[in-house]
Chain A
């Protein structure tokens, strides 16, 4: 990929990638850093998809790099699995930087696990299929289907609750289950 081809790919992929990182992490500064690092790693990667594979494959590969960077970031400070990162870890950052645009989704998103946020965003904002999400996240396709179904049901209940009360409260049936 030469400089011009990269500039073209970057202009089409950078904003969706940043939106993914910002919404999943709840931290815009972190999203800035990880987005840049994702592109640098993408360019340095020897086994990235060739130009003949098309931009879709390249973009999927880019999201995979970003997902791995997010996972590494979450694992580093707490030294725990991504599944064990508490939802409250992200709440402070999200609340501190609250704005109208974030009010659309963030009050419900802070109650979701990081893995659930990733899968929900990839499926409903980016429109990826179960198979593509499995490729990006490294999960099995069947696991993605089940996780997505549960996460969608959970966030839908939170969004309905948010619509009724103006604030998000955990419904008894939607309490976070322990891993």
Chain B
């Protein structure tokens, strides 16, 4: 089958699209269309498809647009939540790993202090009794010079927080 286009096809097509075939066309064009296979195919097929479309359009029971709108909003929100929670989870894991590594490194780097902290940690339960809360930060049984533990814990927490934030921002940039 070879592709041979007729020079009258665009004109006939324009009439068909405008819906004024054959009324608005000349008698010569109509005579040509009757004789030309390509043009008669075009007229037959277009008129059948237009008729099929006309009877099909009223058949559908359309759902209210509001339902689709809210479905789309819900889906978009879920996508955004998934996008945000993915790097946050990674940041949490990374921050936890940093915390654990920092604590372990400190314990190993300063064995003298490490033993004292360990003793303090082991004796924590007795300080947590209601009447002895005030002794918790008194460090009367554990001799902590320079308040190392008080600076250490917020320091690690700050480090973990900053790590999480930096990691989150870096992931956001990558996604953009």
Contact = CB atoms under 8 A, between A and B. Distances in A.
B76 A44 contact: yes
A50 interface: no
A90 interface: no
B45 A16 contact: no
A43 B75 CA distance: 10
Interface in B31-84: 40-42, 44-46, 48-53, 55-60, 62-63, 65-66, 68-69, 71-73, 75-76, 79
A67 to B, nearest CB: 17
Contacts of B60: 14-15, 18-19, 22, 31-32, 35
Contacts of B72: 39-40, 43-44
Contact of A124 (B1, B40, B45, B56): B45
A101 B75 contact: no
Given A6-B69, A104-B52, A152 B45 contact: yes
Nearest to B74: A40
A115 to B, nearest CB: 16
Given A23-B52, A125-B49, A10 B3 contact: no
Interface string B11-45: 00000010000000000000000000000111011
Chain A interface extent, by class: 35 or more
Interface of B: 1, 3, 5, 17, 40-42, 44-46, 48-53, 55-60, 62-63, 65-66, 68-69, 71-73, 75-76, 79
Contacts of A6: 65, 68-69
Interface of A: 3, 6-7, 10-11, 14-16, 18-19, 22-23, 28, 31-32, 35-36, 39-40, 43-44, 100-101, 104-105, 108, 120-121, 124-125, 127, 145-146, 149-150, 152-153, 155-156, 159-160
Contacts of B58: 15
B68 A43 contact: yes
13 contacts: A6-B69, A15-B62, A19-B56, A22-B60, A35-B60, A43-B72, A44-B75, A101-B56, A104-B51, A120-B45, A124-B50, A125-B49, A125-B53
